Structure 1
Amino acid sequence: MGDIQRHMQRFLEQMVEEGRELGVQLAAYYEGELIVDAWAGVADSRTGKLVDDQTLFPVFSVTKGIAATMLHVLAERHSLDYDMPIVELWPEYGAHRKEATTIRHALAHTAGIPHMPEGIGRAEVADWNRMRDEIAGLTPQWPPGEHMEYHAITFSWIVGEMIQRLDGRSFQQVLKEEIMDPLGISDLYVGISEEAEPRVAWLEEPEFDQEMFPATGLQSIPAWICPLAEWMNGREARYACIPASNGIMTAKAAAKHYACLLPGGAEGVELLPQTRMRTATARHITPMQEDQYRGLGYQLGPTNPMMGPRMTTFGHAGYGGSIAFGDPDRRLAVSYAKNLFSSRGAGLDVVRELKKRLGLED
């Protein structure tokens, strides 16, 4: 890793010293090799515990990209057509005019059920079977495919249940057997274990504004789950399986996931053929929304300045400033994880500095 590892290590330490970050990890793969695995700062300000290479960070919607990859892996194995109606896998999903909703609609956030069901709370969100049935019972707010609106949490059970229905394994089994084992990684959880609990970073969100989450009306992120940092600091959220929102992992694990999706893969592993990845990362546009930059389960480059303007770059950002993405043109995969949610966060500057040092400025 050499000079760039030392430079980025010092850059992270500087961001912490300036108070822009509390605890951070940065990992990057370039041309199939790990070139940066750096960390700095405090994992838990209550105890003073420092971040190290074993620290696990809650990364919120970064999890969506990994869940999408899981479905693409199974689609490749079972030769699934993304235009297959979900009801062919999950018959109960067809209730209340959802029978025409396809796998493509679900991955592209055009399924029409972005808002959480009414009458549930934090305990119910952690109950897979309850949420699966609640989601199946929703009525779409528009005809599937007509409109794109971010399915912030409902994505969990739409995509997650399809994964489970494909071959009968649980979501966690598929995650382990189809992603973690082939990649040789262990520090990636959607529902942590008892052994992992002491390693999870404590989140802080000093600028949280409850007015951003009204207490009434249809909501994709309901007020009762906020502040989100406080929710993910709780045992209930950490141990649940909520594939859109509650991934807990190291930056290195997230970066390797994307590195192994790029041409040539990383460390001898290419998780999917590039024909599949080109389909999965092609821009999906609804008839009325040409300003959206989404593939099938992934955000595309122009969505987030940390990924850069290239349409071929794909990944997913998470609430609070974490991100993981891959750039197939440059064979670069990057992940940034953090525990201070602040408008002064340094993620964009960190990624830009990394690209600058590699001579890959956008």
Structure 2
Amino acid sequence: MTMTPSLQQKVQSLLDELVDTGAETGVQVAVHHHGALVVDAVAGTADGRTGRRVTPETPFFSFSAGKVMTSLIAHLLVRTGDVGYDTPVADLWPEFGAHGKATATLRHVLTHSVGVPAMPRGIGPADLTDWSRVCAAIADAEPRWRPGTRTGYHSFTYGFLVGEVARRATGRPMRQLLHEWVTTPLGLDGDLYFAVPRTDLARLARLEDSAPHPAAPPDGDSVLAPWEMRPTAAMGNSHAILQADIPSVGTFTARGISAVNAALLDGRLIGSHRLEELTAVSFEGTDQVFGNHVRLALGYPIGRIGTRPDETPTTFGWVGGGGSYVCADTATGISFAMTKTRLTPHFDTAQRLADLTTAEIAPRA
């Protein structure tokens, strides 16, 4: 373990300030630089009911920030030759070709351009634990646009699309592939999960809502259902959700997920040519769900949080609903991860910490 004292101290000081002022209740930050762990800082409580403190070993359910693990599995599928980026999904999953989706490829899945951003009607949060039912509903869904022509955030469908392709290609569920291909080779057992074992539930941080959610918009005002757009502590603390294989979301420690991206950057998981391919701009356009301009690599938005995408085109990663953030930068070799207990509608904490990290390391990178 290699620490950068000044950066470690500055991050720790900021975390302590955030907890002391009540802006946050429990936070965890890890940073790797060129493969070395340079920041490993925590502050606050993991469980407000018991007062249990956050430690670097505390896993957090971090909503869509877990998509970095999902996308990685997709790239490892390509590395092993089980599937190609331009392989039609229906080649492995014939039922998915219904209603004009036969042309959809893994590349379209990774760029959120398949055209099925929302869960089909009749699928709610409680149904996410039923893999077969969810996949059958997605396979029978009519796309909102012709695959590959537009992009729109596939909030929960993304994980099932990647996961069913992986299952059809390998015969194994995502939780098993994550364990065999990532956590075990990197020595990260206990740090990364799709489907948390019952015996590990007591180790997890307990999430809390920061404020009441505003009233839901009328039907038709949004492509996604309210539960797909707004993270809640109830979902993140649900033992049924936590124990289910739902690779649209994920549970991890900041140290563990930062180590994964560090291994991605330095070639331990895939080669440099593949890294260059998967982090290049693959789709650019207007997000049909949120209306903002997006630049997407294969499986990741491009650009550091809080800046225009074109200002930091070498950074890729995912934010998680409620304020978590995981990213990596091919230019500086920085891998950054931040998880927290309090769910906020903004990413102010993540941006402050990511900006601090970049300001300290990038000039020397």
Task: Give the match's secondary structure for 2:87.
Answer: coil
**Contact persistence 2:284–2:293 (CA under 8 A):** no
For 1:194, the equivalent position in structure 2 comes to 198
Amino acid paired to 1:158: L
Q: Give the number of the structure whose residues are more often helix, by fraction.
A: 2
Post-superposition offset of 1:220: 5.4
* In structure 2, distance between residues paired with 1:49 and 1:139: 47
Amino acid paired to 1:102: T
For 2:79, the equivalent position in structure 1 comes to 76
Q: Deviations over 1:157-187 (max 9, x none)?
A: 1111011111111211111111111211011
For 1:279, the equivalent position in structure 2 comes to 277
Post-superposition offset of 1:228: 2.4
For 2:117, the equivalent position in structure 1 comes to 114
**Contact persistence 1:26–1:336 (CA under 8 A):** yes
Distance 1:207 1:189, change over 3 A: same
Which moves more between the two structures, 21-30 or 290-299? 290-299
Distance 1:341 1:308, change over 3 A: farther
Post-superposition offset of 1:19: 1.6
For 1:244, the equivalent position in structure 2 comes to 248
The percentage of aligned residue pairs carrying the same residue is 34
What pairs up with 1:93-112 in 2 under 5 angstroms? 93-112=96-115
Task: Give the match's secondary structure for 1:39.
Answer: strand
* In structure 1, distance between residues paired with 2:153 and 2:285: 16
Post-superposition offset of 1:122: 2.7
* In structure 2, distance between residues paired with 1:145 and 1:76: 23
Post-superposition offset of 1:123: 2.4
Distance 1:97 1:308, change over 3 A: closer
Q: Deviations over 1:100-149 (max 9, x none)?
A: 11111111000000111111233211111111111111010110111110
Post-superposition offset of 1:75: 0.3
Distance 1:314 1:100, change over 3 A: same
Distance 1:169 1:312, change over 3 A: same
Say which of 148, 151, 158 aligns to 2:151.
148
* In structure 1, distance between residues paired with 2:12 and 2:309: 20
What pairs up with 1:126-165 in 2 under 5 angstroms? 126-165=129-168
Q: Which runs of 4+ in 1 moved over 6 A?
A: 287-290
Amino acid paired to 1:198: A
Distance 1:220 1:291, change over 3 A: closer
Task: Give the match's secondary structure for 1:95.
Answer: helix
Distance 1:220 1:191, change over 3 A: farther
**Contact persistence 2:285–2:293 (CA under 8 A):** no
For 1:333, the equivalent position in structure 2 comes to 335
Post-superposition offset of 1:10: 2.3
Distance 1:311 1:177, change over 3 A: same
For 2:311, the equivalent position in structure 1 comes to 309
TM-score of the superposition, structure 2-length normalised? 0.90
Q: Give the RMSD, CA atoms, in angstroms.
A: 2.4
Which moves more between the two structures, 289-298 or 156-165? 289-298
**Contact persistence 1:302–1:308 (CA under 8 A):** no
For 2:182, the equivalent position in structure 1 comes to 179
Distance 1:68 1:144, change over 3 A: same
Amino acid paired to 2:177: V
* In structure 1, distance between residues paired with 2:44 and 2:195: 25
Post-superposition offset of 1:31: 1.7
Question: Could you list the runs of 5+ residues in structure 2 that have no partner in the other structure?
Answer: none
**Contact persistence 1:298–1:315 (CA under 8 A):** yes
Distance 1:360 1:17, change over 3 A: farther
Post-superposition offset of 1:81: 3.0
What pairs up with 1:53-72 in 2 under 5 angstroms? 53-72=56-75
TM-score of the superposition, structure 1-length normalised? 0.91
**Contact persistence 1:145–1:286 (CA under 8 A):** no
Task: Give the match's secondary structure for 2:15.
Answer: helix
1:259 maps onto 2:262 in alignment: yes
**Contact persistence 1:215–1:223 (CA under 8 A):** no
For 2:211, the equivalent position in structure 1 comes to 207
Amino acid paired to 2:350: G
Post-superposition offset of 1:356: 2.4
Amino acid paired to 1:281: T
Q: Deviations over 1:29-49 (max 9, x none)?
A: 112211111100111111111
Say which of 9, 13, 17 aligns to 1:10.
13
For 2:95, the equivalent position in structure 1 comes to 92
Task: Give the match's secondary structure for 1:209.
Answer: coil
* In structure 2, distance between residues paired with 1:182 and 1:293: 31
Post-superposition offset of 1:224: 5.1
Post-superposition offset of 1:68: 0.7
* In structure 2, distance between residues paired with 1:136 and 1:325: 31
For 2:321, the equivalent position in structure 1 comes to 319
* In structure 1, distance between residues paired with 2:221 and 2:158: 16
Aligned pairs, number? 355
Distance 1:110 1:126, change over 3 A: same
Question: Could you list the runs of 5+ residues in structure 1 that have no partner in the other structure?
Answer: none
Task: Give the match's secondary structure for 2:326.
Answer: strand
**Contact persistence 1:305–1:348 (CA under 8 A):** no
For 1:32, the equivalent position in structure 2 comes to 35
Distance 1:188 1:143, change over 3 A: same
